[in-house]
Structure formats: structure tokens, C-alpha cells
Amino acid sequence: MKVYNVAINPELAEMSFGTLRLLPTAHAKQRAWEKGVDLPLIMVVGKGSIVELEALGKTVKKLVVRFQTEGTHDNVYVLYHQFGNLWSILTVWQNHRDDCHSTLKMAKRA
């Protein structure tokens, strides 16, 4: 699989997936409870929300998306494509809004 990150592939900021139906995994439910993060059942993935994308050929398999909250942190969700517009939430966490990912491993990215 190829991994694309918005820091290297700025065109990701222009991508949109529209409205997705979500099914959280047990791990995601546990992490959400620990971090105090809401797990939506529906999510609109519009321009500017995609941080990372994994693809096998032309098929998108996984997304990392980030959404602002009212506080100083953003919610980050890792989504895995099931079929159609159904995606699993694999995990969730919060990042401070000014986090710039200085540890990004460029060699792993397309």
C-alpha cells in the first residue's frame, strides 16, 4: 500500500469523500472513552480534513482525518474502508492544534 500525507502531498487538502457512515471498533470505543472524544456515526469528510490516505492501487483503504473542536485540540480519527460509504473507526485521539508532526517519516510516504 502507498501512504500519502498532506505534508508531502498537499493535494490531499483539496480532496473530499462526502458523507461517510461509521462503525467504531471496540478499540475505538475504548480510546474515545479514555480521551473524552465523541464517536460520530456519520462524518462529512470535506476539503482540509484529510491528513493521511493509504491506497492499494486506485482503491482508498484507510484515511486519517482531523477536525477542530471548540478547545485547543483537534480530534483525529483513523478510518478503514469497508464497502460503499461504510467505514470503521479504528482509533481516535486528540492533538494540540499547533502540533506540526516533526516526526513524520518521509521514507514511508509516497
Give the closest residue to 87 by CA, choosing from 42, 37, 32. 42
* Strand spans (E) along the chain: 2-5, 18-24, 42-45, 50-56, 59-68, 73-83, 86-96
- Average pLDDT of the residues of the chain: 91
Confidence of residue 110 (pLDDT cuts 50, 70, 90): low
> What's the pLDDT at 19?
97
Distances (CA, A) of 19 to 13, 53, 87: 17, 17, 11
The answer to whether 22 and 68 are in contact (CB under 8 A) is: no
> What's the pLDDT at 105?
56
Reported as a single tens digit per residue, the pLDDT across 36-65 is: 999 999 999 999 999 999 999 999 999 999
Q: How is the chain split into domains, by residue range? A: 2-97
> What's the pLDDT at 97?
84
Contacts of 92 (CB under 8 A, 6+ apart): 28, 31, 32, 35, 37, 39, 75, 76, 77, 78
> What's the pLDDT at 83?
96
